Structure 1
Amino acid sequence: MFAVAPLANESGTTVFQPDTVTDALVQAVSEVEGLTCLPLNRTLAVMRGMGLRELRSPREVSALADALGVDGLIVGAITAYDPYDPPTLGLTLALHAGPISGSGSLNIDELRGSVTDPDAPEAHRYLESPIATASKVYSARNHAVQIDIRNYAEGRSDPSAPRGWQTYMASMPLYTEFVTHATVGRLLDEERLRLARARRPESSR
């Protein structure tokens, strides 16, 4: 079980509601096969009960993960936001292992919070610092980003529609859906890579 803390707004603009991006991030995590994610309103309710409006310290991250009883807690910020065509959205995310995972290590392949890294520190140590991070500003002006959008839109958009896959660049909610999906993918890939490195025999390092 995962949870997503409300994203901080570090974009320099207030023309949007950060919780709409956080909601999209929750949906992106939920769409990963084998993963479940608590609704944002559940996380917000627990934070209110703890007297937290935002997470300001590793201790608060640890306390929230413990209160939610999750395997992983994603915290982060919106670093860029421009809804005008072509849109821009930047995210920075950090994955913290929750206390249920026991070793502070998440096996994303098994997705059950089991122990996969025998040399991992205790869970509270991982709550002091993230086990994986991902940060990128996605500008739809970038050709590589456009290719990624086109690949993402396959099977999700009507190819006969007037704008086809470019609909994802014409609608900020759809563009947000793409960016959160892409950033979650980068975050989980980073954790898989970390685990793969941890499994290498000592002689091969």
Structure 2
Amino acid sequence: MLTSRRARAMRAFVRLALGGPLLGAALLIVACASRPAPLEPPAPTIAPYDTVRGEPLWAVVPLRNETGVSFVDSYAISDRVVAAAAQVRGVRALPLNRTIAQMRALGMHALESPDDARRLATELGADAIIVGSITSYDPYKPALGLALALYPTPRGRIEDPRHVDLDPRQLIYQPTEYTYFPEHREPRDEPGSVVSEHLDGENHQVIYDVRGYAQGRQDPEQRVLGWRRYLASMELFTEFAAHHTVAQLIRQEWLRTERMAREDDRRPRR
């Protein structure tokens, strides 16, 4: 009898000894699984303008469809450009519908000259007008080409740059050949900054940029595709492409305003 009791006690002790660590490990796994993934903010795009008098206001004109593809929704892509501009720190962006409504009120089906751009900006109270084109569109790769030109308005708030120290090597600027108003080549009619991007979803650099863009812009609990969903959906890829192109436009604005600041420093003081 005593031997039987000792045997039962020994078996209970062994079960407790073996089961304790297993139970603890199971509880640890459950705790880790239920802990929400940490959130991280996306990398910001920061404009170079002095915002003491308020953030400059941009207006985006509906983009031209120059792809040769008839089913491109140019208004939807233009709206993505507006959304990307609105996310830039130090800039405000008018809703696309406001710009379209003002163009209709002025009898403008499209902008035909830089004077039209300046007139529209004045009526909207904007500090700059962005015009541009959709240059390529392939929803299957996916691939999207965008060209944007920024026209500052006279005495607008984007002509007063923040003075920062830049590497002089970055000031070597190779302008794009893109021209929105090809028949108007006077210096006063030139845009402030121009960018032209072709983003191919099969290009490894583009894939790398997509992954960087997705950081901080997707649900960390999303397990299906993860960041690659931006390559699986043309709508999401368009969102990335608009952000990327606007960010490049901001980069050119940093270079332009820094050149202006350096030229201003070289002028003789009275």
Normalising by the residue count of structure 2, what TM-score does the alignment of the two structures yield?
A: 0.64
Which residues in structure 2 correspond to 1:76-155 (within 5 Å)?
Answer: 76-84=132-140, 86-101=141-156, 105=159, 107=161, 128-155=189-216
Bigger radius of gyration: 2
Provide the aligned length of Structure 1 versus Structure 2: 186
- Aligned-residue offset at 1:129: 1.6
SS in 2 for 1:47: helix
Select the residue among 33, 48, 59 that pairs with 1:3. Answer: 59
Q: Distance in 2 between matches of 1:106 and 1:193?
A: 13
Q: Distance in 2 between matches of 1:8 and 1:149?
A: 25
Matched, 1:37 2:99: no
Matched, 1:61 2:117: yes
| Superposition RMSD in Å | 2.1
Q: Is the 8 A contact 1:25 1:180 kept in 2?
A: yes
Q: Is the 8 A contact 1:70 1:100 kept in 2?
A: no
SS in 1 for 2:93: coil
Q: Distance in 2 between matches of 1:127 and 1:69?
A: 20
Percent of residue pairs bearing the same amino acid type: 43
Normalising by the residue count of structure 1, what TM-score does the alignment of the two structures yield?
A: 0.84
Select the residue among 20, 23, 29 that pairs with 2:76. Answer: 20
Select the residue among 239, 249, 253 that pairs with 1:191. Answer: 253
- Aligned-residue offset at 1:127: 6.3
- Aligned-residue offset at 1:161: 2.0
5+ residue gaps, structure 1, are 110-124
5+ residue gaps, structure 2, are 1-56, 164-185
